[in-house]
Amino acid sequence: MRHLNAHRKLGRSTEHRLSLLRNLATSLINARNEQIITTLPKAKELRPFVERAISLSRRAQNLTGDDNGAQVVHLRRQAAAFFHAGNQGQARAAGGRRGQGRPPRTAGVAAVKRLFTELGERYKDRPGGYTRIIKLGRRDGDNAELAIIELVDNPREREAAVQTKRAKSTGKKKSARASKSGEAEGGRRGGRKADRTHEQEETTKARGRGRTDEPKDADKASSGGRRAKKTESTAAEQESE
């Protein structure tokens, strides 16, 4: 029985563990290459955590109807719980004084914004499986097992898919051109052979390239006559002796 063993504790208290997962989720959503390197247990705990937030953005993109604005706001507020509170602490520290500029948006607010604009549109038709974990081996020092967690269908993968598609198309075109040129060259080089093998006897005799049957018969006859003369001479010599 695995009662009360649903998740990895990661050697932290509940508040510390949730803060860690929120930081990792923020880093993953805001990363330029859409991937981060962390330990394998943290990556396995981060995967379902961040995929719930992505599912909320996907649900917001699939809403239909005219009065879906309130539902989108509700989903954004639910997704904001997976990240830190943004610039709320900075606003409190400022004290609301007049003449001071608005504090810059933090990574959590930027992550929620990107989640509901770019990622929600990307994973609109994908029913789950938004992340991928790749093992890297063990780290020097503490021997911890490292892993890469990244978002699927990222721009790097799409660019690689386009390049492979182009390479395949160019390879097919090159093979087709090579086959056509090979056929043309084979027709040019092997034309005489083809004419010799498939042409009629009359054309071969007219060109003078082939041997006719008459010289062959004459050669056979001449060779046969010589052999006959030799046998007659040997027989006459034996009789004289």
| CATH code of the domain occupying 14-92+104-152 | 3.90.1030.10
Please report the pLDDT score of residue 236 as a whole number.
Answer: 65
Please report the pLDDT score of residue 66 as a whole number.
Answer: 74
CA distance 39 to 44: 9
Q: Are residues 57 and 119 in contact, defined by beta-carbon separation less than 8 angstroms?
A: yes
Percent of the chain whose pLDDT exceeds 90: 39
Please report the pLDDT score of residue 6 as a whole number.
Answer: 86
Which tens digit of pLDDT belongs to each residue from 213-233? 555 555 555 555 556 556 666
- From the list 53, 45, 52, 51, the residue with the least C-alpha distance to 6 is 45
Which residues, listed in sequence order, are joined to residue 147 by a DSSP beta bridge? Answer: 38, 135
Report residues of the chain scoring pLDDT below 70: 86-105, 182-241
Please report the pLDDT score of residue 240 as a whole number.
Answer: 63
- From the list 33, 41, 31, 26, the residue with the least C-alpha distance to 79 is 26
Which residues, listed in sequence order, are joined to residue 75 by a DSSP beta bridge? Answer: none
CA distance 32 to 27: 10
The residue extents of the domains of the chain are 14-92+104-152, 164-229
CA distance 227 to 187: 47
Cα separation values, 193 from 10, 180, 196, 200, 204, Å: 80, 20, 5, 13, 12
